[in-house]
Structure 1
């Protein structure tokens, strides 16, 4: 029966991904994702059943709205595919309730990563939900234990908070977004305190790689260029959870 869990995770992920994509597209412009029926982001026409099948609808419509003909935001497709992958991998690593919680961890990180990458915004509502599910995971018998999670939350938040505070005192300007310490704290509540240094190190490496690729493509990178640290931490955290889960609860 365990073989069916990853398949179920992919299907559920694709469905959840459709909702997550709506959050990424609509929240930044102040639109609700809970009120009203699904509609085109351009002409606001209500979508039919054929337009709401994750991934398949995008290709059936050739990436365009059936009513106005304008291009559908590719974020819908990308996030649906990523959410499907997250669901499948999480339930492969941990079949059952633990894997579902891990998938929720990944889906929240995916949404936060997309919002931070595009808008440099880490909404407190999502970050606090991430933190709450991290605490809830300990009651399902998932490692690490509750004490390591609580220490991880505190260490994660304080480490980046102090970095941001010190930078502001020394340079007289903001160098770190206010959502980044909260996000690392929430990740700490999931992975425990031993993982915090590894999250920071790998996020820094992802950031340096991203900056290097941007530079190679001719983009400008300067000392005041804003990089989405939250996205880099989110990208790093979910694979670490997979490794942690498949190796018995602790990375180090």
Structure 2
């Protein structure tokens, strides 16, 4: 429980950064340089106005200088990132596994937010997800943990590299066939890269479960629209990256469906 509290608190801080990145990256702005500013008056935010969730609640969601409304998306992202950190610790009591799981979840959260808002899966997010999956495979390999700094790369990297190749190749082929048959794009260009990056984390054996979870999440959204009597047509666009992120998270936490937990 103590680890969950620590990871949850760390997640709130990370969530504040994720909210900033989700705003600046689609605009083509630098995400590492420059102070946070109010979107209304442009004034730099004081340190006490950047405390995750708390600052937003105390200011009642408004800038104290100009009164501009601070979108609720920011505390929601912070809370979601905090929940990811706590969830990771509750599922993996080992600090190394908990941290790796949280890093995966935070990356997936950022990807899901940007895809949901902009229908965009930039390489600047999918490539780090792929590389972090390779690093996690090496760092969490039991043989490498016991050997300290004398890491072996060949064995631990086999499964994630195969998973990445199968994930990218499978979804790219599906998108290609859909385009040839229907004469229009059925998937975004970033979806194969995202599934390839996910494959680096869950391996090839986890990819079917990722797609099953993603499909279930997509069907749930469509069902909710029908229940709410919202119009649903074949031309509707859905941010598939959001559903892939859900599938990746659930598969990493609970393993491939029907195959037991991941190693």
Indicate if the aligned counterparts of 2:138 and 2:156 stay in contact, CA closer than 8 A: no
Indicate if the aligned counterparts of 2:164 and 2:197 stay in contact, CA closer than 8 A: yes
1:28 corresponds to which of 16, 26, 29: 26
**More displaced 10-residue stretch of structure 1: 158-167 or 235-244:** 235-244
Distance 1:141 1:76 in 2: 32
Indicate if the aligned counterparts of 1:13 and 1:80 stay in contact, CA closer than 8 A: yes
* CA distance 1:15–1:231, shift in 2 (3 Å): same
Indicate if the aligned counterparts of 2:162 and 2:204 stay in contact, CA closer than 8 A: yes
Q: Which residue of 2 aligns with 1:80?
A: 78
Distance 2:86 2:18 in 1: 16
Distance 2:119 2:141 in 1: 32
TM-score w.r.t. length of structure 2: 0.89
Distance 1:130 1:171 in 2: 31
**More displaced 10-residue stretch of structure 1: 131-140 or 212-221:** 212-221
* CA distance 1:66–1:174, shift in 2 (3 Å): same
Q: Which residue of 2 aligns with 1:11?
A: 9
1:188 corresponds to which of 199, 203, 207: 199
Q: Which residue of 2 aligns with 1:56?
A: 54
Cα offset, 1:35, TM superposition:
2.1
Q: Secondary structure at the match of 1:192?
A: helix
Kindly tell me the number of residue pairs found equivalent between the two proteins: 247
Indicate if the aligned counterparts of 1:98 and 1:142 stay in contact, CA closer than 8 A: no
- The unaligned stretches of length 5 or more in structure 1 are none
Distance 1:218 1:235 in 2: 25
Indicate if the aligned counterparts of 1:40 and 1:65 stay in contact, CA closer than 8 A: yes
Indicate if the aligned counterparts of 1:98 and 1:140 stay in contact, CA closer than 8 A: no
Q: Which residue of 2 aligns with 1:249?
A: 262
**More displaced 10-residue stretch of structure 1: 143-152 or 128-137:** 143-152
Indicate if the aligned counterparts of 1:164 and 1:174 stay in contact, CA closer than 8 A: yes
- The unaligned stretches of length 5 or more in structure 2 are 143-154
Q: Secondary structure at the match of 1:39?
A: coil
Q: Which residue of 1 aligns with 2:152?
A: none
Between 1 and 2, higher relative CO (CA 8 Å, sep ≥ 6) is seen in 1
Q: Which residue of 2 aligns with 1:92?
A: 90
Asked whether 1:117 is paired with 2:116, we answer yes
Cα offset, 1:167, TM superposition:
1.0
Cα offset, 1:31, TM superposition:
2.7
Q: Which residue of 2 aligns with 1:139?
A: 138
2:43 corresponds to which of 39, 42, 45: 45
Distance 1:101 1:127 in 2: 16
Distance 1:164 1:197 in 2: 16
Cα offset, 1:152, TM superposition:
1.1
Cα offset, 1:145, TM superposition:
4.4
Indicate if the aligned counterparts of 2:206 and 2:255 stay in contact, CA closer than 8 A: no
- Which segments of structure 1 move beyond 3 Å, counting only runs of 4 or more? 142-145
